[in-house]
Structure 1
Amino acid sequence: MLHHRDATPPSPQADALLRLARDTLAIEAQALHDMAARLGAPFVQAVQRMLATTGRVIVMGMGKSGHVGRKIAATLASTGTPAFFVHPAEASHGDLGMVAPGDLVLALSNSGESSELNVLLPLLRRQGVPLVALTGGLQSSLAQHADVVLDCSVQREACPLNLAPTASTTAQLAMGDALAVALLDARGFRPEDFARSHPGGALGRRLLTHVRDVMRAGDQVPRVLPQAGFGALMREMSAKGVGAAAIVDEQGRPLGIFTDGDLRRRIEAGADLRALQAGQVMHAGPRTIAADALAADAAQIMERHAITSVLVTDAQGLLVGIVHIGDLMRAKVI
């Protein structure tokens, strides 16, 4: 009688898994270390050509190099260098029309002998489009057609079979990042520029949102004169729902602030507040900020001084608004 054997392979041991993982990281780290040591004049030439480009950087690559190329194009575009990815196979069927005079092609191929990419090389040469190659094949067809060759060769792949693109694609990706960082620095790219291309992200909100966008203004601002009674102060705080009220002079300049925290501390101290005026219980010298300041700056003031509200003043020092920590949270600034 025949017995069916379980075809499920034995589960690898934890130490074997960790050894392979560490070997992979070590091989790829060594590849990057070696590539950094080889950097020289060609890298500078590539950056200079990309800076001089009046059009866009067109990134091309097949297979895994294509996947890396898409990421490089996205990184360039988000850091001040207009770029997009064109698939070499699609380029042979019409998409080459996306490449225009003034553009520059950044081509990725580990071997430098990708047929889909190489068939385009004479056409790019005929168009007069500069070509920068990221390749490990320094004597390849791609390298021979390129104006600048960036050496992305690796001694071996991290794959135990030395077949799957691993260390080579890591090298390409890192070289693309190196180009992007060098270009953004040369262009004087600032955090504000990055935020403009990432308006939906956390950084975009932090760098594009101003105090005026989130502050409470007009009748929403709780304020009383210093001679107001304590009861009037409490009614103003309750009505506006900020947990604080500004104490202002006759012209509207803030003299102080009174908060829920101040109320709690005075009650704990046993003070009889009913007969006091707003000017007598206020915390003098309140923290203020301008309406055109970044909302992130207001958040920093709150964090630094352990407060939950900041008064907003204009150029003449008049109270024009108040921003509460809840307003910043709703705007996703913090």
Structure 2
Amino acid sequence: MKLSQQYLQTGRQTITIEAEALLLLANRLDEAFTQAVQTLLDCKGRVVVTGIGKSGHIGRKIAATLASTGSPAFFVHSAEAVHGDLGMITGEDVVIAISYSGQSNELSTILPVIRRLGTKIICICGNKDSDLAKLSDIFLNAHIEKEACPLGLAPTASTTVTLALGDALAVACLEARHFGASDFARSHPGGALGRRLLTHVYDVMRQGDTLPIVSPNTPLTQALEVMSKKHMGMVIIINPDNEPMGIFTDGDLRRLIQKKGDIRPYTLGEVMSKSPKTILDTTLAIEAASIMESEKISHILVINTKGKLVGAVHMHDLMVKKVI
């Protein structure tokens, strides 16, 4: 067998073993899982995830997932807990302890102390008869038939199952809390999703003196000076009540020159595009981008709830703010 074929075979076998372990996990979820979810939902403090070794690495990810999906959580390394970090845990917290064997010396040392605080303990473990299972209030069975590692030594299928259980807990809590995309964005303000779900039109629009505003009686030649000065590629025509009447873009200018030749006789009221596309200032910026893309326009006027012009957005503004 060629080496490349052997690599593929090993890769597929590894993934198959782990997939089968996940299927077994899904089929054996029982009332203990329901109790674990309810315990997390009832938690008045924080969810504290603890483990050591590979279980610790998985625990960090589980804590991060819980924290970003509406369940305040943090990770405490079991070895550090033995030497002082146990003070971070209170009786109002819920502890998720992770150890596949259930015989971690560090966990066996700290869990009796945690129990005396009155803290609820959920364990993710592959051995229901282990010390960890006996010291916990809720036992989540992470047992696997075999590791994907041919030596049966490197945690592979077992860590995959543990991670999946953590994700299952987080998602179940997320749904129970009716945690939505906007909630998720609040904990991810620096990411692309956060920018898209937290940035409103009023955050990106041009306003005040930066707007190329003219009246319908403004001569077209004068309006071109405003268009050039304001660098938006258009002018906005408003009435005396500051309500948008129309828009005239550089594209409109090119078409008018091709059609009429001499543009000097015209005022904006004669050549503007009436009923311009508008959007409320409180609308999400990503929605403005969607409208502009679907309408194939580069600008959109921004109004308040009274229909007054308060700003304008160019597609370039959304790109600068990394909304799109």
Q: TM-score, normalised by structure 1?
A: 0.93
AA paired with 2:133?
Answer: A
| Aligned: 1:152 with 2:137 | no
What is the deviation of 1:269? 4.5
Unaligned 5+ segments in structure 2 are none
Structure 2 residue corresponding to 1:204, chosen from 179, 187, 194: 194
Structure 1 residue corresponding to 2:42, chosen from 43, 52, 55: 52
- Provide the secondary structure at the position in 1 that maps to 2:96: strand
Structure 2 residue corresponding to 1:36, chosen from 20, 26, 29: 26
Q: 1:164 to 1:281 in 2, by over 3 A?
A: same
Q: 1:265 to 1:32 in 2, by over 3 A?
A: farther
| Aligned: 1:292 with 2:266 | no
Structure 1 residue corresponding to 2:181, chosen from 188, 191, 204: 191
Distance 2:306 2:50 in 1: 56
- 1:31-59 C-alpha deviation (Å, 9 max, x unpaired): 11110011121111000011111111110
Q: Which residue in 2 is equivalent to 1:325?
A: 315
Q: 1:170 to 1:270 in 2, by over 3 A?
A: farther
What is the deviation of 1:224? 1.3
AA paired with 1:95?
Answer: D
Greater displacement, 226-235 / 176-185: 226-235
| Aligned: 1:257 with 2:247 | yes
Distance 1:289 1:80 in 2: 31
Q: Which residue in 2 is equivalent to 1:120?
A: 110
Distance 1:109 1:211 in 2: 48
Q: Which residue in 2 is equivalent to 1:8?
A: none
Distance 1:53 1:41 in 2: 18
Alignment RMSD: 1.5
What is the deviation of 1:228? 1.7
| Aligned: 1:132 with 2:114 | no
Structure 1 residue corresponding to 2:162, chosen from 172, 179, 187: 172
- 1:292-334 C-alpha deviation (Å, 9 max, x unpaired): 2211121111111111111011222111111111111111111
Aligned pairs, number:
324
AA paired with 1:26?
Answer: T
Distance 2:315 2:274 in 1: 20
What is the deviation of 1:177? 0.6
Distance 2:120 2:305 in 1: 52
Q: Which residue in 2 is equivalent to 1:226?
A: 216
Alignment of 1:225-244 (within 5 A): 225-244=215-234
| Aligned: 1:105 with 2:95 | yes
Q: 1:265 to 1:57 in 2, by over 3 A?
A: same
Distance 2:261 2:16 in 1: 67
Distance 2:141 2:183 in 1: 31
Q: Which residue in 2 is equivalent to 1:78?
A: 68
| Aligned: 1:304 with 2:311 | no
- Provide the secondary structure at the position in 2 that maps to 1:258: strand
AA paired with 1:314?
Answer: N
Greater displacement, 33-42 / 256-265: 256-265
State the identity as a percent: 54
- Provide the secondary structure at the position in 1 that maps to 2:19: helix
AA paired with 2:174?
Answer: L
Q: Which residue in 2 is equivalent to 1:5?
A: none
- 1:259-317 C-alpha deviation (Å, 9 max, x unpaired): 12222333445654332221222222111111122111211111111111110112221
- Provide the secondary structure at the position in 1 that maps to 2:49: strand
